[in-house]
Amino acid sequence: MDAFLTRDAESKLIQQRSAQARRPSEHLLEVKYANGTKRFIDKPPHVDIGGTHWFYCGYNAAQNLHLIGHKVDSLFSGDILRHSDGKTFKAGHTILMSPAGKKFLAIEQQNGLDGEDWAVYKLYGKKLWQGYAGILSTPKKNEYVTVIAQFVNPSWRDEDVLEADLSCADTVKGKLSLHVGKASPGWFLPSAC
């Protein structure tokens, strides 16, 4: 599920879920859950990179949850709303559910920064891993940090292993994997770029 939406795209998703989501005014989003309604209220300034803005991004029937896009100043992120009780949990602008739906990858993006921040969560719970989706340089004094490689095309191999392609200068150089079923998860990287 992806939360990078325009108001037009949001309008189409709301029409599909008209019984559960609606926008009664420009800066108010309401999402119905089993026993109530959750209100998401935008906060000024209402400009591209400023304020707080909410977007309805869809419903996952298998997990019984809604994805709500959340843009705060320059951060593009999101929350999931559990339909059964209306409880919200931190997510990302995009989430990728594991095969059994017990974990998910949450992707966030700071406007103007190269690359994304990724986090893996247990569904409705604990954060298992978080980090930059790539490899950064280790600068010496008076040098800038640069992006050496980025992790792209994430997918779940199984419930405990997240995979991605390693991209160096827009060329895929191999697969890498993150084993989130271990006590201290870490990426297993192919040779560097």
Cβ atoms 115, 25 nearer than 8 A: no
CB 134 within 8 A of CB 150: yes
| Closest by CA position to 33, among listed 89, 86, 88 | 86
Q: What is the mean pLDDT of residues 72-81?
A: 92
Q: Grade residue 140 by pLDDT with cuts at 50, 70 and 90.
A: confident
Determine the average pLDDT of the residues in 88-105: 94
43-68 mean pLDDT: 90
Say how far apart CA 111 and CA 192 lie, in whole Å: 27
Whether 42 shows a pLDDT value over 60: the answer reads yes
Mean pLDDT of 161-181: 89
Q: What are phi and psi of 8, to 5 degrees?
A: -65, -45
- pLDDT over 70 at 193, yes or no: no
In 3D space, the residue among 90, 65, 98 whose CA is nearest the CA of residue 180 turns out to be: 98
Position 53 confidence tier, pLDDT thresholds 50, 70, 90: very high
pTM above 0.95, yes or no: no
| Lowest-confidence segment of 21-25, 45-49, 125-129 by average pLDDT | 45-49
Tell me what percent of the residues of the chain surpass a pLDDT of 70: 94
Residue 59 is encoded by which pair of tokens?
């419903």
Arithmetic mean of pLDDT, 128-139? 91
Binned at pLDDT 50, 70 and 90, residue 32 comes out as: very high
d(CA 12, CA 57): 10
Cα distances (Å, whole numbers) of residue 15 to 22, 26, 57, 143: 8, 16, 12, 50
Question: Mean pLDDT across the chain, nearest whole number?
Answer: 88
Q: Do residues 51 and 57 touch, judged by C-beta distance below 8 A? A: no
What local confidence, expressed as pLDDT, does residue 25 receive? 94
pLDDT at 192: 62
